[in-house]
Amino acid sequence: MDDLFFFIIAKYNYWAAIVLLFIGLFGMIVRNNLMKKIIGMVIFQTAILLFIVSIGAKRGATVPILKFSPDKQPMLDAATYANPLPHVLILTAIVVGVAVLGVALALLQKIQRVHGTIEEDEILEDMRK
């Protein structure tokens, strides 16, 4: 029991991401309301972003800007810096996510205007007519 507890606690960031991932996937696939599908999609994307960004964290690390010692020598101690790359990647991925969300909402608005509803089953019924 203790082993399992530590197994979960030691990697809690991964577990959080996985739980969010499945909540998002559930929303996207099972939900009937298209708005809820979009919300699921955002949760799903955010889970992945959290997963990748959390690996850049390091205990006691500082921002990756080169520090100088009092006698103007650069202190090249990689262990004291946090890895900036995951943050930069995720910044780009956030922008992509926002763009997808924008397009999805615009489409949803159009769907609502054409079919008069955003419930999937009602749309399908409307299209059969």
Partner 1 sequence: MMDHAPALMIVVPVFASLVLTLIGPLGQRAAYGLLILSIAGSLAAALVTLVQVVQTGQAVYYRMGDWMPPMGIELVIDHLSAGVLVLICACALLTAIYSMHTARQDNPDRLNHYYALFALLVAGLLGMTATGDVFNLYVLLEISALSSYGLLARGKGKAYYATFRYLIMGTIGASFYLLGVGYIYIMTGSLNMADLSEILRRPELEESVSVRIGFTLIILGVWIKMALFPLHAWLPNAYSRAGTTTACLIAPLMTKVSVYVMLRIMFTVFCVDYIFQQIAWSRLVIYLASAAAVLGMITALSQRDLRKMLTYIIVAEIGYLTGGAWLANTAGYTGAVYHILADGLMTLCLFMAVGAVIYRTGQSTAAAMQGLFQRMPVTAGVLLVAAASVVGVPPTCGFFSKWYLLQGAVKAGEWVFAAALIIAGLVAAILFFRLLERAFFGRLADAVTEKKSKKPHGTARKIRIQEAPLTMLLPLVFTGAALFGLGIYTNEVVQYLIRWSVPAGI
Q: How would you class 19 by CB atoms within 10 Å of its CB: exposed for 0-12, middle for 13-18, buried for 19 or more?
A: exposed
Nearest distance, CB of residue 71 and partner 1, angstroms: 29
What token pair was written down for 113?
């205007």
Nearer to partner 1, 12 or 72 (CB): 12
Nearest distance, CB of residue 44 and partner 1, angstroms: 6
Nearest distance, CB of residue 77 and partner 1, angstroms: 18
Residues contributing to the site for partner 1 (CB under 8 A): 21, 25, 28, 34, 37, 41, 44-45, 48, 51-52, 55, 86, 89, 92-93, 96, 99-100, 103-104, 107-108, 110-111, 114-115, 123, 127
Task: Calculate the alpha carbon distances from 92 to 52, 84, 98 in Å.
Answer: 12, 13, 10
Residue 44, strand partner residues: none
